[in-house]
Amino acid sequence: MSDTQLAAGFIIGSAFLHAIFNAFLKIGGDRYVRRGLMNLGAAAAVAPLAFFVPLPTPEAWIHLAAGVALLAVYQVAQIESYKAGDFSAVYPVARGSSVALTAIGAAVLFPETFPPLKVAGFVLVILALTQFRAGPSGARGLALAWALATAVMIAFYTLNDAGGVRAATSAASYAVWFFITQGAALPLYAAAKRRRALPALVRREWRISAACVLLMVGSYTLNLYALRLGAVAEIAALRETGVLFGALIGAVVFKESFGVRRSAAAAVLVAALVLIQTA
């Protein structure tokens, strides 16, 4: 199996796990405390592995430090988008809009070049994903603004992680230290935001947060391995297969409207992702 095929398999698996644990964030309750507990749980779960992987290289440390800020802002924007709109609308808008931003960044920073058919595939991905916000349950107003802010942060942290994991001694090393370094930022923000209510909220949220830790660790680890092996723009586009999983979860679990328009958009999205991989 080639590195490209392996990267594609990793990133589709990452997308599937990502959609599931994000659906848990959409479920009613305190999303800040829940996500903070998830981050702490992930850091605690991987911390023993720090004794078995190399320390990050100096360049990787820079990316890890930047990632702390980027992930914290991303998670706040993501949570606010879930509060403001339907999961099946804001999740596709956020994930899909990031494809174009990441592709532009990858062309500038790495650099990566794209033949005309691959560019056409990226355009189709973006056009298809815009249709997920259509309809009565689509992203509007504040929900759309938060979803687009989330997309910007997705592009930033994807490019940052791509540089970091390639500068690291190994993908395993970067993954372990990634979870350790990003474990405290959002929990501290949630603690400051909730203050006196925090103990009661922790007691209420810890079970669902614990269930999400393995999903989150698995998703981000597979994503980092894929970024180490494959082209950044293609990996970013393939990860948006999670949009399909997210839309289906929204329709089946949250009983949100899917409809003919989103069904057609899903078919176009799959075709566009195949084009990107084969062009």
Based on the number of CB atoms within 10 Å of its own CB, is 66 exposed (0-12), middle (13-18) or buried (19 or more)?
middle
Round to whole Å and give the CA distance between 34 and 26: 10
Residue 196: count of CB within 10 angstroms of its CB: 6
Based on the number of CB atoms within 10 Å of its own CB, is 242 exposed (0-12), middle (13-18) or buried (19 or more)?
buried
Instruction: Spell out, as residue ranges, where the chain has pLDDT lower than 70.
Output: 130, 132-140, 257-259, 262, 277-279
- Scan for tokens 């195949």, then name that residue: 274
Backbone angles phi, psi at 207, to 5 degrees: -65, -50
Round to whole Å and give the CA distance between 254 and 247: 10
Tell me the pTM.
0.81
Domain range for 138: 3-278
Q: What are the pLDDT digits (tens) for 244-259?
A: 787 778 778 777 766 6
Q: What are the pLDDT digits (tens) for 75-129?
A: 999 999 888 877 777 877 787 778 778 888 888 888 777 788 878 877 887 787 7
Q: In the numeric block, which tokens belong to residue 190? A: 């949630």
Report how many domains make up the chain: 1
230 to 46, 59, 69, 132, 172: CA distances (angstroms): 25, 20, 25, 27, 16
